[in-house]
């Protein structure tokens, strides 16, 4: 059930008229609710930023850009070593950021394609086993992230079922563009060529695909189901091709739900910890941002851990703002559609 | 173009929705598919359009004597108007109408200027010339309906298929639009089938009416014939109000169906004729040109009678009076029957 | 709504792609788990999951998850009720942040809670920190210290490294489930029934217990079940705040990781199968509940 989003149909309206609340009950309940949410959500969120800025703005920025000594400055050996260490740490942090982005850049498009295909198949057609297929698509939400990592180790690890094949697999950095004949490219963070799957970034991609698998499909399915097939049939009867119908009619009709699914998928791809941790082998080069946070924390580098965490926390806040904006947009579009295609 | 379907059946699981339907529509005809809800009208229309596939063993669907059973929806060149219009929500009126033109393969696609001109012509035809930039959500039901029609006409379909085109509109707009549709059909003469469950609409607009019941066509004839010579009790009942008389005829028990306006009320027995019966005026309902009189016979059955207002005034009926009534015509008799 | 087979194109392509992608990336890996666990004999499997370290971890996972689910059951209901029924300042903000645990990476959650509940953290050392803060404020205004130091030393929650900390992060990750399943039902509920019942002289508490609660109970139970299931599988946030001592404070998912690190694949997969079975069981229960309440609705 890791992070299963619940349908966005919870938008609060104005308070409905009800019998006057008991004033004591009201005060007690609201106080409890507000304190609970404050302690469990607001304080932890604020704390991320407070700890990240524990050494001020300079300390915050130093996590990414360690201070450079002026050229003429004479440094003691200890100072030099400290600077070198800071540079190494910052390099690892940047690497983690690059790897996180690279993984998301592969995972999210894959799951968008899958989500669109799955939603099309399950909502525009009726076939035997359709209900089963829909529940299978939701399955990854019910699997513990650690188990999600474990299954790939058991499948592709050294003693895994396809272990022999997988450990001899060699593959090149997908961002290097060497696979299409270019030497250069934008090596975000894969950086080199690999052999094997488990304990390489490829395994991180696989584990991330697994845990973010249902997001897009699940946010599209209810909407596409309720929209029926009339508009598609109308387009086809006018001579449009299947692809044209899909891209010009279906996709625009579900664009907000699609965006919502993509945002959730991206947030989860950035933030996944358990599954990725299991297949990463705890090697520095396989650290994504969440794994990097754990390493910094284990090294007692509290402020740096929180600094990296603050970036992810900011993304989470952005996710919520985007969600609210999409709900608002979709709600604004909705009344217009009513009475027009309501069945 | 002519449309002919032969022996079409369609079932969903064990439910037989259409059963051995035959239908032939002449070129340029406007045909109404009339029937109660669930009788299979939409299904038949969708089979003709190619949206739905007829069962194995069904006969062909012929357009101009060419079998199109295996031709895709998009290649049949039909214009289909959905009951809820299915306008593209995110496109304005212009883009909706232009959609089919822009979707044509490059070789057949008209230039942008031609598309504009064509859409403008259609907009004028549907009398929405100044609403090209509006979105479907900004149109009234009747306007949406006309846009849907224009969108279907833009690709110059060989056949126009309309599923309850006025079903979602209020009574006045319905009446206005169906006359407009008739006039439109008289100008463009494209073979048209439209589905309705409103008998008045079907009788008023169409060249021929196919009355459907439980997956079968009960009668297929011009409106007047359907009304005056209903082929079955179902058709008779579906086309208007009726009285049901039970009695004994020459060849056994039977029943007769009689329209309320085919019953004549008389004050005295002599003018009423030999078959007249007695009735007590139990209710009088005024309704403009006709007055609805409810009679109660000796065996406590109710008989609905409609008389024109002038006749009613001449008779000067009052509640509680006893009068004679007789059947004006014999042709509604269902079975061999005497009162 | 009639679905049409042949007319809308793309079924073979999209269904084929869906099935392939699903099989390759979800079903096949899960089958690998089943296969690996299946290679063990039954007594062997039993021995692994009854190993004291493993049973201790399963017990801890269950205990902490149950407690967290119960806390969420109570507070989730209070939060949902307050948000739907009462107007209060920042109501919409509080509603929006409910989804925060879905959006925040678990590692960040674990990190910040671990820090907050340290002995001298904001919440771990709540009493002393409060005294400090109040005195600092008083110092700014020129007055002397208001509270004697040590006045609130009893008011501390040093849960980092303790079971309490595990429960706290599990409450956090499960928080949205109860609220977000109960909320739609409450939103749909028409308070006119209450107005009617009140006018007949019923007490508010009676109305809640007899009329409203039965209405929201199925959603509430599924929300609690979802929160519980999520807590059982949770890993990222817990390992930051727990002491992670084998046999004492290791949760079950961490046992899997430990076994994997020792290359004990069979043992890891045995524990994995147990966890997977639990989540599937809960999924079944929730589906059953939903179809029950749907049937109930229809007959009502
Ligand atoms: N996809 C389907 N699956 C199963 N049954 C269907 C399906 N589509 C239609 N039916 C059934 O077929 C019968 C005829 O449906 P159809 O829509 O053709 O009726 P209709 O005459 O158009 O009625 P209405 O006036 O209500 O639109 C109905 O009983 C309906 O329940
Ligand atoms: Mg219909």
Q: Residue B30 in contact with residue B206, Cβ under 8 Å?
A: yes
Residue that the structure tokens 């043992």 belong to = C267
Alpha-carbon span B195 to B178, nearest angstrom: 12
Q: How far is B242 from chain C (nearest CA, A)?
A: 35
Give the model confidence (pLDDT) of C103-156 as tens digits: 999 999 999 999 999 988 889 888 888 888 888 888 888 777 778 877 788 888
Q: Residue B133 in contact with residue B94, Cβ under 8 Å?
A: yes
Q: Residue B96 in contact with residue B151, Cβ under 8 Å?
A: yes
B55 has a chain C CB within 8 A of its CB:
no
Instruction: Report the pLDDT averaged over residues C237-244.
Output: 93
How many angstroms separate the most distant Cα atoms in chain A?
80
Return the ligand number nearest the Cα of C3. 1
Spell out the residues 6+ positions from residue B5 whose beta carbon is closer than 8 angstroms to its own: B21, B22, B23, B24, B47, B48, B59, B60, B61, B62
Specify whether B129 is located in the same domain as B160: yes
Specify whether B255 is located in the same domain as B114: no
The residue whose CB lies within 8 Å of the most ligand 1 atoms, and thus the one to mutate among B39, B51, B211, B216, is B39
Alpha-carbon span C17 to C26, nearest angstrom: 13
Q: How many beta-carbon pairs below 8 A join chains A and B? A: 81
Specify whether B34 is located in the same domain as B148: yes
Q: What is the DSSP letter of B85?
A: B
Specify whether B278 is located in the same domain as B306: yes
Q: How many CA atoms lie within 13 A of B192 on its CB side?
A: 28
Q: What angle do CA A246, A250, A251 make, to 5 degrees?
A: 90
Q: Which of B142, B123, B119 is nearest to B131 (CA)?
A: B123
Contacts of A297 in chain C (CB under 8 A): 111, 114, 240
- What's residue B248's pLDDT? 56
Across chain A, what does the average pLDDT equal? 88
Question: For ligand 1, atom 17, which residue shows the shortest CA distance?
Answer: B42
Q: Which CATH number characterizes residue B188's domain?
A: 3.40.50.300
- What's residue A5's pLDDT? 44
Give the model confidence (pLDDT) of B230-250 as tens digits: 888 888 888 888 888 776 555
Contacts of A336 in chain B (CB under 8 A): 89, 135, 137-138
Alpha-carbon span A196 to A204, nearest angstrom: 12
Across chain B, what does the average pLDDT equal? 88
Q: Residue A222 in contact with residue A286, Cβ under 8 Å?
A: no
* Ligand 1 midpoint to CA B40 (Å): 6
Task: Look at residue B159 and give its three-state secondary structure.
Answer: strand
C256 token code pair = 């899997």
- What's residue A134's pLDDT? 92
Alpha-carbon span C217 to C295, nearest angstrom: 15
Last residue of a domain, one of B209, B238, B267: B238
Spell out the residues 6+ positions from residue A327 whose beta carbon is closer than 8 angstroms to its own: A8, A11
Alpha-carbon span B202 to B183, nearest angstrom: 15
- What's residue C93's pLDDT? 92
Q: Indicate if ligand 1 lies below 6 Å from the C-beta of B197.
A: yes
- What's residue C297's pLDDT? 63
Alpha helices in chain A (DSSP H): 23-37, 43-52, 56-62, 77-124, 130-138, 145-156, 163-167, 201-212, 215-227, 230-237, 242-245, 251-253, 255-271, 274-280, 289-298, 302-337
Q: How many CB atoms lie within 10 A of CB B315?
A: 17
pLDDT band at C288 (very low <50, low <70, confident <90, very high): confident
Among positive and negative, which fits the CA dihedral A56, A61, A65, A68? negative
Specify whether B307 is located in the same domain as B209: no
Q: Residue B52 in contact with residue B229, Cβ under 8 Å?
A: no
Last residue of a domain, one of B197, B223, B238: B238
Alpha-carbon span C181 to A62, nearest angstrom: 43
Q: Residue C98 in contact with residue C175, Cβ under 8 Å?
A: yes
Sequence spans of domains, chain A: 36-64+78-142+213-342
Q: Do C235 and A146 touch (CB under 8 A)?
A: yes
Q: How many beta-carbon pairs below 8 A join chains B and C? A: 13
Spell out the residues 6+ positions from residue A40 whose beta carbon is closer than 8 angstroms to its own: C168, C171, C172, C175
Q: Indicate if ligand 1 lies below 6 Å from the C-beta of B39.
A: yes
Last residue of a domain, one of B214, B238, B262: B238
Across chain C, what does the average pLDDT equal? 89
Is the confidence at residue B267, as pLDDT, over 70?
yes
> For each of chain A's 343 residues, which pLDDT tens digit applies?
334 444 445 567 777 777 777 788 889 999 999 999 999 999 999 999 999 999 999 999 999 999 888 888 888 889 889 888 999 999 999 999 999 999 999 999 999 999 999 999 999 998 999 999 999 999 999 899 999 999 999 999 888 889 888 888 888 777 777 777 777 666 667 777 788 888 999 999 999 999 999 999 999 999 999 988 999 999 999 999 999 999 999 999 999 999 999 999 999 999 999 999 999 988 888 999 999 999 999 999 999 999 999 999 999 999 999 988 998 888 777 654 444 333 3
Q: Do A237 and B73 touch (CB under 8 A)?
A: yes
A98 token code pair = 């690059």
Structure ipTM over 0.85, yes or no = yes
Residue that the structure tokens 């006025």 belong to = B166
- What's residue C257's pLDDT? 94
Q: Do A238 and B87 touch (CB under 8 A)?
A: no
Q: How far is CA A268 from CA A81, A92, A289, in A?
A: 37, 22, 12
- What's residue C201's pLDDT? 81
Q: Do A278 and C260 touch (CB under 8 A)?
A: yes
Instruction: Report the pLDDT averaged over residues B67-92.
Output: 91
Q: Residue C82 in contact with residue C88, Cβ under 8 Å?
A: yes
- What's residue B339's pLDDT? 37
Contacts of B72 in chain C (CB under 8 A): 7
Higher pLDDT, C235 or A187: C235
β-strands A170-171, B243-249 pairing: unpaired
Q: What angle do CA B259, B262, B268 make, to 5 degrees?
A: 135
Higher pLDDT, C30 or A183: C30
Give the model confidence (pLDDT) of C161-218 as tens digits: 889 999 999 999 999 999 999 999 998 888 888 888 888 888 888 888 888 888 899 8
Q: Which CATH number characterizes residue B331's domain?
A: 2.40.50.140
Q: Residue B126 in contact with residue B150, Cβ under 8 Å?
A: yes
Q: Indicate if ligand 1 lies below 6 Å from the C-beta of B215.
A: no
pLDDT band at C4 (very low <50, low <70, confident <90, very high): very low
Specify the number of domains making up chain B.
Answer: 2
Q: Residue C207 in contact with residue C198, Cβ under 8 Å?
A: yes
The residue whose CB lies within 8 Å of the most ligand 1 atoms, and thus the one to mutate among B40, B166, B212, B216, is B40
Task: Look at residue C119 and give its three-state secondary structure.
Answer: coil
Alpha-carbon span C279 to A144, nearest angstrom: 8
Q: Which domains does chain C have, with CATH numbers?
A: 39-102+160-299 (1.10.3720.10), 118-158 (no CATH)
Catalogue the long-range contacts made by B270-274 (C-beta closer than 8 Å, 24 or more residues apart). B272/B324, B272/B325, B272/B326, B273/B326
Q: How far is CA B187 from CA A166, B157, B181, B191, C191, in A?
A: 71, 15, 10, 12, 58
C262 token code pair = 């020792």
Range of the domain at B286: 243-338
Alpha-carbon span A4 to A141, nearest angstrom: 6
Q: What is the DSSP letter of B130?
A: G
Give the model confidence (pLDDT) of C84-100 as tens digits: 999 899 999 999 999 99
Question: For ligand 1, atom 3, which residue shows the shortest CA distance?
Answer: B12
Mutate: best of C2, C14, C173, partner A, most A CBs <10 A: C14
Which ligand 1 atom is the nearest neighbour of the CA of B215? 14
* Ligand 1 midpoint to CA B142 (Å): 25
Task: Look at residue B143 and give its three-state secondary structure.
Answer: helix
Q: How far is CA A25 from CA C72, C81, C205, in A?
A: 19, 11, 10
End-to-end CA distance of chain A: 33
Q: How far is A186 from chain C (nearest CA, A)?
A: 27
Question: For ligand 1, atom 25, which residue shows the shortest CA distance?
Answer: B37
The residue whose CB lies within 8 Å of the most ligand 1 atoms, and thus the one to mutate among B8, B11, B13, B17, is B17
Please state which of the ranges A115-119, B10-14, B248-252, C71-75 shows the lowest mean pLDDT.
B248-252
- What's residue B338's pLDDT? 40
Is the confidence at residue B55, as pLDDT, over 70?
yes
* Ligand 1 midpoint to CA A237 (Å): 20
Q: Has this prediction a pTM greater than 0.90?
A: no
Q: Which of A255, A247, A194, C1 is nearest to B103 (CA)?
A: A247
Fold (CATH) for A36-64+78-142+213-342: MetI-like fold (1.10.3720)
Burial C249-284 (b: 16+ CB within 10 A, else e): bbbbbbbbbbbbeeeebbbbbbbbbbbbebbeebbe
Q: Which of A315, A306, A338, A332 is nearest to A48 (CA)?
A: A306
Alpha-carbon span A115 to A104, nearest angstrom: 15
* Ligand 1 midpoint to CA C120 (Å): 70
């Amino acid at each position: 059930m890791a992070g299963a989003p619940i349908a966005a149909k919870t938008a609060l309206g104005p308070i409905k008229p009800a019998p006057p609340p008991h004033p004591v009950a009201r005060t007690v309940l609201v106080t409890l609710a507000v304190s609970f949410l404050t302690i469990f959500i607001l304080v932890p969120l604020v704390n991320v930023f407070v700890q990240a800025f524990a050494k001020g703005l300079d300390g915050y920025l130093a996590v990414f850009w360690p201070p450079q000594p002026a050229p003429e400055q004479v440094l003691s050996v200890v100072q030099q070593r400290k600077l070198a260490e800071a540079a190494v740490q910052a390099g690892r942090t940047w690497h983690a950021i690059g790897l996180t982005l690279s993984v998301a850049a592969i995972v999210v498009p894959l799951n968008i394609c899958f989500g669109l295909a799955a939603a099309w198949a399950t909502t525009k057609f009726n076939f035997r086993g359709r209900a089963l297929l829909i529940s299978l698509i939701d399955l990854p939400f019910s699997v513990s992230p650690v188990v999600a990592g474990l299954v790939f180790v058991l499948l592709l690890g050294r003693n895994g079922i396809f272990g022999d094949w997988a450990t001899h697999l060699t593959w090149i950095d997908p961002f290097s563009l060497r696979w299409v004949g270019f030497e250069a490219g934008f090596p975000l963070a894969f950086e080199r060529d690999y052999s094997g799957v488990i304990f390489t970034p490829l395994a991180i991609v696989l584990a991330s695909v697994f845990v973010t698998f249902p997001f897009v499909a699940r946010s599209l399915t209810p909407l596409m189901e309720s929209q029926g097939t009339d508009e598609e049939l109308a387009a086809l009867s006018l001579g449009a091709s299947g692809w044209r119908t899909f891209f010009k009619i279906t996709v625009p009709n579900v664009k907000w739900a699609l965006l919502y699914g993509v945002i959730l998928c991206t947030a989860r791809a950035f933030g996944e910890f358990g599954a990725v941790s299991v297949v990463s082998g705890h090697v520095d080069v396989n650290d994504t941002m969440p794994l990097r946070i754990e390493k910094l924390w284990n090294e007692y580098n509290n402020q740096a851990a929180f600094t990296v965490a603050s970036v992810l926390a900011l993304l989470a806040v952005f996710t919520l703002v985007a969600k609210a904006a999409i709900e608002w947009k979709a709600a604004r579009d909705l009344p217009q559609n009513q009475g027009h295609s309501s069945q | 173009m002519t449309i002919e379907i032969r022996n079409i059946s369609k079932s969903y699981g064990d439910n037989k929705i259409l059963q051995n339907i035959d239908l032939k529509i002449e070129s340029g005809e406007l045909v109404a598919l009339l029937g109660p809800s669930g009788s299979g009208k939409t299904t038949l229309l969708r089979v003709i359009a190619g949206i739905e596939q007829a069962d194995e063993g069904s006969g062909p669907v012929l357009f101009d004597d060419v079998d199109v059973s295996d031709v895709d929806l998009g290649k049949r060149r039909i214009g289909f108007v959905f009951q809820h219009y299915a306008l593209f929500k995110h496109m304005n009126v212009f883009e909706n109408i232009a959609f089919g033109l822009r979707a044509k393969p490059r070789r057949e696609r008209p230039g942008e200027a031609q598309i504009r001109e064509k859409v403008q012509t259609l907009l004028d035809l549907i009398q929405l010339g100044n609403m090209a930039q509006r979105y479907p959500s900004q149109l009234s039901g009747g306007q949406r309906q006309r846009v849907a029609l224009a969108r279907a006409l833009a690709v110059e379909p060989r056949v126009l298929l309309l599923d309850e085109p006025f079903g979602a509109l209020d009574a006045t707009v319905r009446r206005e639009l169906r006359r407009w549709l008739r006039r439109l059909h008289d100008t463009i003469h494209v073979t048209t089938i439209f589905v309705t469950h409103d008998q008045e609409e079907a009788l008023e607009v169409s060249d021929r009416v196919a009355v459907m019941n439980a997956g079968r066509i009960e009668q297929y004839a011009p409106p007047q014939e359907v009304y005056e010579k209903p082929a079955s009790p179902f058709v008779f009942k579906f086309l208007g109000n009726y009285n049901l008389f039970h009695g004994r005829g020459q060849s056994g028990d039977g029943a007769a169906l009689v329209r309320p306006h085919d019953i004549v009320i008389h004050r005295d027995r002599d003018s009423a004729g030999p078959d007249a019966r007695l009735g007590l005026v139990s209710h009088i309902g005024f309704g403009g040109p006709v007055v609805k009189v409810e009679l109660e016979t000796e065996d406590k059955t109710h008989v609905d009678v409609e008389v024109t207002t002038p006749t009613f005034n001449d008779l000067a009926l009052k509640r509680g009076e006893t009068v004679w009534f007789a059947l004006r015509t014999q042709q509604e008799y269902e079975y061999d029957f005497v009162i | 709504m009639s679905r049409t087979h042949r007319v809308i194109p793309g079924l073979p392509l999209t269904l084929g792609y869906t099935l392939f992608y699903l099989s390759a990336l979800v079903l096949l890996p899960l089958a690998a788990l089943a296969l690996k666990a299946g290679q063990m004999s039954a007594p062997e499997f039993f021995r692994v999951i009854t190993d004291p370290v493993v049973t201790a971890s399963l017990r801890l996972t269950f205990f902490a998850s149950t407690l967290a689910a119960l806390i969420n059951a109570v507070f989730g209901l209070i939060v949902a009720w307050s948000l739907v029924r009462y107007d209060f300042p920042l109501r919409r903000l509080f509603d929006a942040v409910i989804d925060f645990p879905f959006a925040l990476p678990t590692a960040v959650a674990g990190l910040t809670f671990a820090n907050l509940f340290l002995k001298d953290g904001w919440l771990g050392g709540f009493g002393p920190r409060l005294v400090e803060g109040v005195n600092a404020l008083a110092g700014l205004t020129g007055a002397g210290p208001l509270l004697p130091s040590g006045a609130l030393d009893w008011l501390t929650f040093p849960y980092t490294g303790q079971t309490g900390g595990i429960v706290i992060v599990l409450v956090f990750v499960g928080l949205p489930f109860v609220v977000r399943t109960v909320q739609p039902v409450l939103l749909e509920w028409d308070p006119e029934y209450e107005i009617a019942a009140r006018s007949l002289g019923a007490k508010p508490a009676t109305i809640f217990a007899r009329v409203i609660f039965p209405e929201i109970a199925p959603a509430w139970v599924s929300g609690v079940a979802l929160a519980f299931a999520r807590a059982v599988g949770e890993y990222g946030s817990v390992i930051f705040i727990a002491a992670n001592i084998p046999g004492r404070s290791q949760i079950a998912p961490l046992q899997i990781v430990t076994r994997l690190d020792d290359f004990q694949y069979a043992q890891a997969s045995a524990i994995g199968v147990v966890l997977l079975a639990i989540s599937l069981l809960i999924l079944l229960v929730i589906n059953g509940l939903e179809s029950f309440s749907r049937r109930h609705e229809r007959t009502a």
